[in-house]
């Protein structure tokens, strides 16, 4: 018996090993016409297919959404939420969750036929009303009868309090500058934040319980005011809960860090929340646009490993999954995959003021890195698109015609042959840079997140750059670290110029206003990754965003092209790839969106559960 | 006397002439042992070789060490040689592939493929498709899973192969595996040597002098022990950066305490013995007493604990690498390879299986080897068999 057990163990071990190393030894002829294809009982299906199928069966959702909604959307996230405080959040994933349970004055909804997005009032009852002739003073009317989760009234007083706290000099919120000057610049907002004027002088006024007034520095169109106020950083905060979490010095608040310090008012209510593990939302029956929400709730589990997420999806435990570069190979020819253009370009960011690496300030050297980067190969390895540009493909320069910047002549003029990969030119520039600096060898350290795309890209560049420049002349050291630590480290360049040398970046930006997406490189952006400080760049940005002639034909188009050139040509940043997000969704999830669209993407929050 | 009293009659009956005084005109010599004299280490060796499991473990360690030294140079690829066009290749050993055993043949299952593409020679070169499985209609399209000869699928010749496959940058896993084993072993051995060096000196001084010196020194070790290991290690690596030096130091920073305690206990055991008192009485200096007369008695437990500490160090290094605090790329270690392999376990299991086998063998072998040494060095077992 004991011998039998041993033999069984050995056999099992051998089988496991064989499974790992084997394929299939038997061979058969391909493309046999006798093969019978039957409809697969698949877990996943494409958007269009699901819609047509489900239309024939009874829809448990009914004809219109109920107050309670139907079905729970189950998601898995690789990111943790950290804080729901809209004034201090860092990553875009947090902003998605904040927006789910908060209100903004204006927001993006799917349009009527679910093919694009519409920007319209959420808490605001209507579009901004122009008060003066110039277009610098605007009034915003608030909807009546809006409440917080606990039934308390939510009106202009809450918005006004949010603005006060956003710009509070003691709290020094990360998003303050974002609010003070972004699509619009609010009069004296930055001055108040920096302590050089009083609150009364700031161009934010409370007229009455349902009316607010904004004074801007330059004239604007209503859509610009709405776009600015639709940013997740402008989600309305609750005074009672915000003050409850405030410390004695009024320099920090616990608002949004746990259920105890959070109150919802958005499309969904936070039902339960275990920090860094799980969050449950339920439909807000009092939400202004509850008729747009079919779901009864959303369950989000934090699952950091992409393979585990895919397993959860295969087991039917989550309703959709984002495919990583590793697991995309399995689905690359699968018709069920949903693609979406990601709203950012992954680029290499350089700390040009690092006193330990003066060569990073050398333009020839930076350009050498630009031309030595084989974007096509990197894109192949990471299942992305090569990018030698900064403005992502879906960014639309003309909203009326829907023209993407990359499709314009100006956008195409910024592209390089072979995606900017030219090893000979790179070597030439590199040697030139060494001669200019009077050094024989460059050793750089790249910090990166220890996750698949950045690991692959960093390790590939480590060798390919060294091969082009010569291993005796160039060495790239790699240092992996968690994402949050890397972000904090990079953003500390202002106080510690030696904090990093080169790393990775990628900003998610306003895809309907590409001229505004360059704010991350203006001198006044508060959370800059790199010390790119250029008055000329600011001037172009300001002209495109606030200039008198910005509405004239071609002004913004040219400004976007010029800002892209100013960043890319001297290689102040080095674009590498544009990510393409890929998803699989389950049969029980029916998307109301007909296609991927800017801002609302696949519209997960507006989807239906049809099981 | 009792014997005589009891047998008085018998003894008295023996004639007196039969008794002779043998020492009167003879010298008495010690008799030579008929067996060979056995020293301490020979005794240890004899007892060690009787333990079959330990001997097998020692052989496995020896073989793995040989591969760790020579393995990387057995393949044509360097450990950091990237082939971006040949990433995640399955294992293939031509000799085994020809035997048609179904292993190491470079076959791979491509899932969810468009059936209509199978006849496209640009996508599927002639002869690469081995078997078509699971035909189905998905969204009206003909979808199949296809077993392919992945090397042909990638347009390679029959001779081209990665014995154990390639990783996410097209690097040879065979070369990286043995290079990683070498690195892991090096880290383990160096860190254990450092631990022994510090621990022996610290423990000797503490144990020999005792009293207040011992009290202070032991409290220091308790403070060091009280810090959570992962916190200390993480902080150390954050400050000093990743790399072999940092990992070795992070393994030394706490682990020497155990050696120090063990040596101290040995000193308490031996320092009161007569031969030590005698030496001290004769004026032998403290350092000589410590290192010449007392410490050699601890050599057995030190060697044993060191051997047992090696797999623990390998495991710690792997753990650090697994949580992203491992060596700087492109240097491999078993932990680094396991960490990456785990992420692609479902798609490319060979990337996890081979480093897992090697680390398992190392761990088991060092533990069995350590156990064998412990038994062999145990003085209470001397001459027991």
Query: What DSSP line would sit under A206-232, residue for residue?
Result: EEETTEEEEEBSS---HHHHHHHHTSG
Contacts of B130 in chain A (CB under 8 A): 23-28
Of the ranges A90-99, A116-125, A303-312, the best mean pLDDT one: A116-125
Pick the CATH number of B173-381 from 2.30.40.10, 1.10.3720.10, 3.40.50.11540, 3.50.4.10: 1.10.3720.10
- Residue range A72-311+586-609 in CATH 3.40.50.2000: no
Contact residues on chain A for B118, CB-CB shorter than 8 A? 30-31
Which residues in B lie closer than 8 A to residue A30 (C-beta atoms)? 118-119, 124, 129, 132, 146
Say whether B324 and A464 touch across the interface (CB within 8 A).
Answer: no
Q: Both tokens of residue A72?
A: 């729970």
Contact: A456, B105; criterion CB under 8 Å: no
Closest residue, chain B, to A17 (C-alpha): B353
Per-residue pLDDT averaged across A120-142, rounded? 96
Mark yes or no for CB contact A25/B113 under 8 Å. no
Tokens read off for B342: 């785990």
At A47, the pLDDT band (50, 70, 90 cuts) reads very low
The partner residue sitting opposite A456, judged by closest CB among B108, B117, B168, is B168
Predicted interface score ipTM higher than 0.85: no
- Residue A176 CB-density burial (10 A; 0-12 exposed, 13-18 middle, 19+ buried): buried
- With bands split at pLDDT 50, 70 and 90, how would you rate the model's confidence at A329? confident
DSSP conformation class of B85: G
Within chain B, all domains assigned CATH 1.10.3720.10 are found at 173-381
CB contact under 8 A, B108 and A23: yes
Cα separation, A181 vs A192, in Å, equals 13
Instruction: Give the model's pLDDT for residue A17.
Output: 56
pLDDT at A44: 47
pTM: 0.82
Q: Does residue B116 register a pLDDT over 50?
A: yes
User: What's the CA gap between B97 and B151, in Å, rounded?
Assistant: 12
pLDDT for residue A583 is more than 90: yes
- Of the candidates B266, B242, B255, B272, the one whose C-alpha atom is nearest the C-alpha of residue B335 is B242
CB spacing of A326 vs B344 below 8 angstroms = yes
Chain B partners within 8 Å of A23 (Cβ): 90, 102, 105-109, 130, 147-150
Q: Hey, where are the domains in chain A?
A: 72-311+586-609, 341-579
The band of B380, judged by pLDDT with boundaries at 50, 70 and 90, is: low
Give the model's confidence band at A9: pLDDT under 50 very low, under 70 low, under 90 confident, else very high.
Answer: low
Q: Are the beta carbons of A37 and B87 separated by less than 8 Å? A: no
The fraction of chain A above a pLDDT of 90, given in percent, is 71
CB contact under 8 A, A480 and B82: no
Report the C-alpha gap between A504 and A210 in whole angstroms.
44
What tens digit of pLDDT does each residue of A420-440 get?
999 999 999 999 999 999 999
Per-residue pLDDT averaged across A102-111, rounded?
96
Cα–Cα distance between A419 and A387 in angstroms, integer? 7
Q: What is the pLDDT of residue A300?
A: 95
Residue B247: what pLDDT? 83
> Can you tell me the distance from the alpha carbon of B24 to that of A558, in angstroms, rounded to the nearest whole number?
128
Residue A13 has pLDDT above 80, yes or no: no
Task: Using a CB–CB cutoff of 8 Å, tell me whether A9 touches chain B.
Answer: no
B144 neighbourhood in chain A, CB within 8 Å: 35
- Which class would CATH give A341-579? alpha beta
DSSP state, residue A267 = S
Query: Which residue, among A316, A318, A271, A350, has the nearest Cα to A568 in the 3D structure?
Result: A350
Say if the Cβ atoms of A28 and B138 lie within 8 Å: no
pLDDT at B334 over 80: yes
For the segment A482-502, what is each residue's pLDDT rounded down to a tens digit? 777 788 889 999 899 999 999
Q: Which two tokens stand for residue B150?
A: 């992945």
Burial class (CB in 10 A: 0-12, 13-18, 19+), B15: exposed
Of A386, A90, A341, A331, give the one whose Cα is nearest residue A321: A331
Residue A532 has a CB neighbour count (10 Å cut-off) of 22
Give me the residues of A, 433-452, that contact B with CB < 8 A.
450, 452
A residues 556-585 lying closer than 8 A (beta carbon) to B: none
Measured CA to CA, the distance from residue A571 to residue A364 in angstroms comes to 9
The per-residue pLDDT for B228 is 85
């Amino acid at each position: 018996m004991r011998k039998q057990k041993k033999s069984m163990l050995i056999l099992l071990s051998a089988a496991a090993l064989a499974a790992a190393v084997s394929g299939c030894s038997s061979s058969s002829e391909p493309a046999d016409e006798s093969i019978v294809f039957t409809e697969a009982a698949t877990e996943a299906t494409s958007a269009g297919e699901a819609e047509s199928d489900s239309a024939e069966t009874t829809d448990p959702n009914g004809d219109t959404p109920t107050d309670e909604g139907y079905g729970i959307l189950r998601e898995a996230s690789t990111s943790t939420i950290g804080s729901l405080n809209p004034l201090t959040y860092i990553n875009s994933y947090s902003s998605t969750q904040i927006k789910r349970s908060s209100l903004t004055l204006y927001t993006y909804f799917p349009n009527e036929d679910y093919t694009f997005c519409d920007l319209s009032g959420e808490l605001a009852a209507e579009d901004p009303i122009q008060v003066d002739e110039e277009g610098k003073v605007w009034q915003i009317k608030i909807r009546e009868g809006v409440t917080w989760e606990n039934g308390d009234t939510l009106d202009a007083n809450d918005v006004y309090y949010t603005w006060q706290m956003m710009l509070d000099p003691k709290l020094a919120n990360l998003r303050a500058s974002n609010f003070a000057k972004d699509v619009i610049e609010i009069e004296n907002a930055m001055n108040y934040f920096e302590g050089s004027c009083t609150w009364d002088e700031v161009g934010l006024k409370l007229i009455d319980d349902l009316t607010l007034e904004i004074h801007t520095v330059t004239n604007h169109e209503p859509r610009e005011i709405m776009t600015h106020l639709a940013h997740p950083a402008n989600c309305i905060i609750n005074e009672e809960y915000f003050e409850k979490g405030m410390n004695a010095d009024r320099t920090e608040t616990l608002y949004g860090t746990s259920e105890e310090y959070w109150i919802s008012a958005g499309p969904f209510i936070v039902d339960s929340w275990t920090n860094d593990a799980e969050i449950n939302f339920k439909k807000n029956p009092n939400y202004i646009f509850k008729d747009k929400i079919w779901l009864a709730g959303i369950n989000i589990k934090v699952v950091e490993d992409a393979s585990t997420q895919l397993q959860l999806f295969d087991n039917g435990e989550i309703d959709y999954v984002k495919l990583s570069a590793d697991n995309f190979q399995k689905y690359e020819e699968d018709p069920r995959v949903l693609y979406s253009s990601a709203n950012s370009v992954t680029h290499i960011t350089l700390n040009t003021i690092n006193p330990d690496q003066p060569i990073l300030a050398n333009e020839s050297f930076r350009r050498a890195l630009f031309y030595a980067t084989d974007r096509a190969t990197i894109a192949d390895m990471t299942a992305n698109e090569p990018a030698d540009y900064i403005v992502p493909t879906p960014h639309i320069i003309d909203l009326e015609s829907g023209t993407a910047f990359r499709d314009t002549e100006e956008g195409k003029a910024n592209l390089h042959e072979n995606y900017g990969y030219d090893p000979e030119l790179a070597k030439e520039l590199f040697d030139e840079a060494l001669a200019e600096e009077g050094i024989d060898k460059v050793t750089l350290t790249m910090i990166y997140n220890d996750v698949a795309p950045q690991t692959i890209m960093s390790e590939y560049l480590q060798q390919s750059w060294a091969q082009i420049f010569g291993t005796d002349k160039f060495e790239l050291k790699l240092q992996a670290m968690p994402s949050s630590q890397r972000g904090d480290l990079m953003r500390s360049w202002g106080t510690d110029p030696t904090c990093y040398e080169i790393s990775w970046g990628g900003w998610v930006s306003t895809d309907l206003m590409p001229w505004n997406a360059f704010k991350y490189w203006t001198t006044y952006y508060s959370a800059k990754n790199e010390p790119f400080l250029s008055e000329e760049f600011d001037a172009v940005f300001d002209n495109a965003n606030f200039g008198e002639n910005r509405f004239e034909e071609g002004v913004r188009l040219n400004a976007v092209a010029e800002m892209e050139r100013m960043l890319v040509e001297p290689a102040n940043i080095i674009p590498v790839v544009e990510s393409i997000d890929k998803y699989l969704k389950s049969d029980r999830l029916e998307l109301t969106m007909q296609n991927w669209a800017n801002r609302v993407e696949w519209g997960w929050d507006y989807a239906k559960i049809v099981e | 006397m009792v014997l005589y009293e009891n047998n008085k009659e018998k003894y008295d009956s023996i004639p007196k002439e039969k008794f002779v005084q043998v020492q009167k005109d003879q010298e008495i010599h010690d008799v030579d042992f008929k067996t060979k004299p056995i020293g301490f280490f020979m005794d240890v060796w004899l007892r060690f070789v009787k333990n079959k499991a330990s001997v097998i473990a020692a052989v496995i360690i020896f073989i793995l060490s040989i591969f760790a030294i020579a393995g990387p140079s057995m393949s044509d690829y360097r450990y950091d040689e990237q082939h971006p066009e040949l990433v995640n290749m399955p294992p293939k050993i031509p000799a085994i592939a020809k035997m048609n055993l179904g292993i190491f043949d470079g076959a791979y299952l491509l899932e969810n493929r468009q059936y209509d593409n199978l006849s496209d020679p640009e996508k599927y070169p002639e002869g690469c498709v081995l078997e078509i499985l699971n035909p189905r209609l998905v969204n009206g399209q003909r979808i199949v899973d296809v077993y392919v000869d992945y090397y042909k699928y990638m347009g390679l010749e029959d001779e081209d192969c990665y014995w154990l496959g390639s990783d996410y940058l097209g690097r040879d896993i065979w070369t990286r595996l043995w290079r990683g084993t070498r690195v892991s072993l090096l880290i383990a051995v160096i860190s254990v040597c450092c631990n022994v060096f510090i621990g022996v000196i610290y423990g000797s001084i503490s144990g020999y002098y005792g009293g207040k010196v011992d009290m202070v020194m032991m409290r220091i070790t308790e403070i060091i022990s009280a810090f959570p290991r992962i916190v200390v290690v993480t902080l150390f690596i954050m400050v000093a950066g990743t790399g072999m030096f940092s990992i070795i130091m992070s393994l030394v920073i706490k682990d020497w305490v155990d050696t120090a305690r063990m040596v101290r206990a040995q000193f308490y055991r031996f320092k009161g013995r007569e031969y030590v008192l005698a030496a001290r009485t004769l004026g032998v200096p403290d350092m000589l007493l410590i290192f010449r007369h007392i410490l050699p008695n601890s050599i057995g437990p030190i060697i044993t604990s060191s051997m047992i500490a090696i797999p623990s160090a390998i495991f710690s290094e792997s753990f650090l690498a697994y949580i992203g605090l491992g060596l700087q790329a492109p240097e491999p270690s078993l932990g680094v390879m396991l960490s990456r392999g785990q992420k692609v376990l479902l798609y490319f299991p060979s990337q996890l299986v081979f480093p897992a086998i090697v680390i398992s063998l190392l761990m088991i072998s060092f533990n069995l080897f350590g156990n064998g040494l412990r038994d062999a060095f145990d003085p209470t077992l001397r001459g027991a068999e």
